[in-house]
Amino acid sequence: MTNAQTTEISEPLPRETIANLIAAIASQPERYALFFDIDGTLLDLAETPDAITVPNGLTDDLKALSHHLDGALALVTGRALSYADTLFFPHRFPIAGLHGTERRMLDGQIIRAEPTAEFLDVKQRLATLPESFPGVLVEDKGGAVAVHFRQVPELADHVGEAMRVAIAKAGPGYELQRGKMVLEIRPDSADKGRALDAYLAEAPFAGRIPVAFGDDVTDEAMFKLVNAKGGISIHIGAPTDSTLARKRLSKPQAVRDMIATILRKQL
Ligand SMILES: O=P(O)(O)OC[C@H]1O[C@H](O[C@H]2O[C@H](CO)[C@@H](O)[C@H](O)[C@H]2O)[C@H](O)[C@@H](O)[C@@H]1O
Ligand SMILES: [Mg+2]
């Protein structure tokens, strides 16, 4: 996907621009709302879903940044909401999980699509996939199911075929989501853009400039929404023209450094 209207497709965020953004968020926090993807954005990617690590200090830094923004910080992730909570325990951030299809609002209420009988049947069948394709890893996320092939990339086509059959059996209400070395069946009731938009309708997010950080296909819906609202979209990773994001940071460490610098500046 390319974005012809974007003049700065996935350009590195110049040092000066980073400095400006950091200074602005540090000195005028009431103007900004920050939205972070998790895997590949806040956290370095790992070989398997459970092998990720949350670097020392990140959880507290996120909490401090959230406090600085008067709560206008949310995580928008493909992970299950409950899993994301365990990553950043004991803090409970506003989180949109399963690519935006389950969302905890500020009052603690959670909006999610209930799984259908057909989906649960498909999920059960997919659980046996590693018997036919050793090395493939099935991640049960409750309302969604992901099949990872990072450890056996040569099986990508087989996984693709199995998931095409599975999505047809899952029936209405579900869609196939592509990701990094993963294919997933998830509810089609929302996406990360719609989740972000829903947060922007609520205090303390409402009326603020959205700033979204993400690294993957699923984050494009978020970038599109943020661009339309005059916000700042930041892609994490190598330069690419396959993103709607208008700015770029090279890796999760750069995101973590940016957070730490904002906090130092506001002291
Ligand atoms: O939207 P995100 O927060 O970025 O979540 C996207 C998916 O992240 C996880 O999978 C990815 O990260 C794994 C750990 O680094 C990696 O092993 C895998 O290859 C990646 O696809 C997670 O397991 C998925 O459920 C999320 O949808
Ligand atoms: Mg990601």
37 is catalytic: yes
Residue nearest to atom 4 of ligand 1 (CA): 39
Q: Say how many Å lie between the CA of residue 85 and the centre of ligand 2.
A: 16
Given the CA of residue 184, which atom of ligand 1 is nearest to it?
27
Average confidence (pLDDT) over 230-234: 95
Average confidence (pLDDT) over 152-160: 98
Q: Say how many Å lie between the CA of residue 79 and the centre of ligand 1.
A: 7
Q: Say how many Å lie between the CA of residue 243 and the centre of ligand 2.
A: 13
What pLDDT is stored for residue 19 in this prediction? 87
**What end-to-end distance do the CA atoms of the chain give, in Å?**
41
d(CA 48, CA 17): 34
- Burial readout 240-257 (b: 16 or more C-beta within 10 A, e: otherwise): eeebbbbbbbebbebbbe
Could you tell me the pLDDT band of residue 71, with boundaries at 50, 70 and 90? Answer: very high
Handedness of CA 78, 79, 81, 85 (dihedral sign): negative
Q: Which of 214, 186, 212 is nearest to 99 (CA)?
A: 186
Domains of the chain with CATH codes: 11-112+190-266 (3.40.50.1000), 117-187 (3.30.70.1020)
Proportion of the chain above pLDDT 70, given as a percent: 94
Select from 182, 183, 184 the residue to mutate for testing ligand 1; criterion: most ligand atoms less than 8 Å from CB: 182
Please determine, for the modelled complex, whether the ipTM score is greater than 0.95.
Answer: yes
Statement: residue 60 has pLDDT above 90: yes
Could you tell me the pLDDT band of residue 10, with boundaries at 50, 70 and 90? Answer: low
46 lines ligand 1 (CB under 6 A): yes
What pLDDT is stored for residue 106 in this prediction? 83
Could you tell me the pLDDT band of residue 266, with boundaries at 50, 70 and 90? Answer: confident
Indicate which ligand has the atom closest to the C-alpha of 236.
2
Q: Say how many Å lie between the CA of residue 23 and the centre of ligand 1.
A: 31
d(CA 264, CA 157): 47
**Cβ atoms within 10 A of the Cβ of 46, count?**
12
Given the CA of residue 192, which atom of ligand 1 is nearest to it?
1
Structure pTM? 0.94
Given the CA of residue 46, which atom of ligand 1 is nearest to it?
15
